[in-house]
């Protein structure tokens, strides 16, 4: 089973980049399932039903979320109705939506799980203990975890904790692709952060001049997503669909032509 996972989609440039690269990479790599993190898809903050539907129409089969899940209030009724949206499973009990979804891929079941970290992040329940509960609850051949976290140490620690139990632990949130892709001893594929799909000439997806001025002055400012050519970051993972172990992991990244504004 081959999975293609796109990193955090940031605003219109990120959505445009995925729209352009998805058919190319589908033909080149022949993935059996395509998922993405839609955490920043609506102008850099959260997601709306309209944008979620737009990404599903492109061929994305599940969208994971993160700390901006509730930024747009119209997502609250939608998330209970749309089985392809996955918000962090370690949010407090009673939150709308679900922390995992099961996809039928080939003749097997692929579980897509979202967890959010606690280091340098807003408060949430323990992702480690939440995973223990989910592992006992989920019946699937392959278990994929999007770990949405700030700290590289927390992501690595969680991957070691889940090694041999999760098929893959792939980090999101920092928008910078790391170069530590590996398969852990227990057969779990790991990457600290898959990176973003968003404007290349930016500060993690936001207008650079605004961010620089905030660092210089400490004054609040409205962040904007520049409408520039996007970088598209993803990861390709092969799994043994009988035992759920990872067989191979490969980072993918397409950067825009620097000669084109």
Enzyme catalytic residues: 68
First to last CA, the chain: 38
Count the alpha carbons within 13 Å of 181 in the hemisphere toward its beta carbon. 16
**Number of Cβ atoms within 10 Å of the Cβ of 172:** 30
Whole-angstrom distance, CA of residue 189 vs CA of residue 243: 14
Tell how far CA 26 is from the center of its chain. 18
Six token digits for residue 117: 């970290």
Whole-angstrom distance, CA of residue 76 vs CA of residue 81: 9
Bridge partners of residue 252, in order along the sequence: 234
Q: Sign of the CA dihedral 162, 251, 32, 175?
A: positive
Q: Sign of the CA dihedral 24, 28, 29, 31?
A: positive
Tell how far CA 194 is from the center of its chain. 8
Tell how far CA 235 is from the center of its chain. 10
């Amino acid at each position: 089973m081959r999975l293609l996972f796109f990193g955090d989609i940031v605003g219109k440039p990120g959505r445009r980049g995925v729209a352009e690269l998805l058919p190319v990479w589908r033909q080149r790599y022949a993935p059996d399932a395509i998922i993405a993190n839609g955490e920043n898809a609506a102008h850099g903050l959260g997601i709306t039903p309209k944008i979620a539907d737009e990404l599903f129409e492109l061929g994305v089969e599940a969208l994971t979320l993160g700390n901006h899940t509730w930024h747009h209030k119209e997502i609250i009724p939608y998330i209970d109705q749309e089985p392809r949206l996955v918000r962090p499973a370690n949010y407090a009990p009673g939150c709308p939506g679900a922390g995992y979804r099961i996809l039928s891929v080939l003749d097997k079941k692929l579980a897509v799980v979202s967890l959010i970290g606690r280091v340098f992040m807003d408060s949430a329940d323990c992702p480690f203990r939440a995973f223990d509960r989910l592992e006992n609850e989920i019946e699937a051949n392959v278990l994929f975890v999007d770990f949405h976290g700030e700290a590289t140490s927390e992501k690595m620690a969680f991957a070691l904790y889940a090694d041999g139990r999760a098929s893959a632990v792939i980090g999101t949130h920092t928008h910078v692709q790391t170069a530590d892709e590996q398969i852990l001893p227990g057969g779990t594929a790991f990457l600290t952060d898959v990176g973003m799909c968003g404007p290349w000439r930016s500060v993690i997806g936001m207008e650079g001049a605004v961010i620089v001025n905030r660092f210089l002055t400490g004054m609040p400012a409205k962040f904007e997503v520049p409408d520039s050519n996007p970088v598209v970051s993803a990861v390709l993972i092969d799994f043994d669909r009988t035992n759920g172990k990872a067989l191979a992991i490969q980072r993918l990244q397409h950067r825009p032509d620097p000669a084109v504004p």
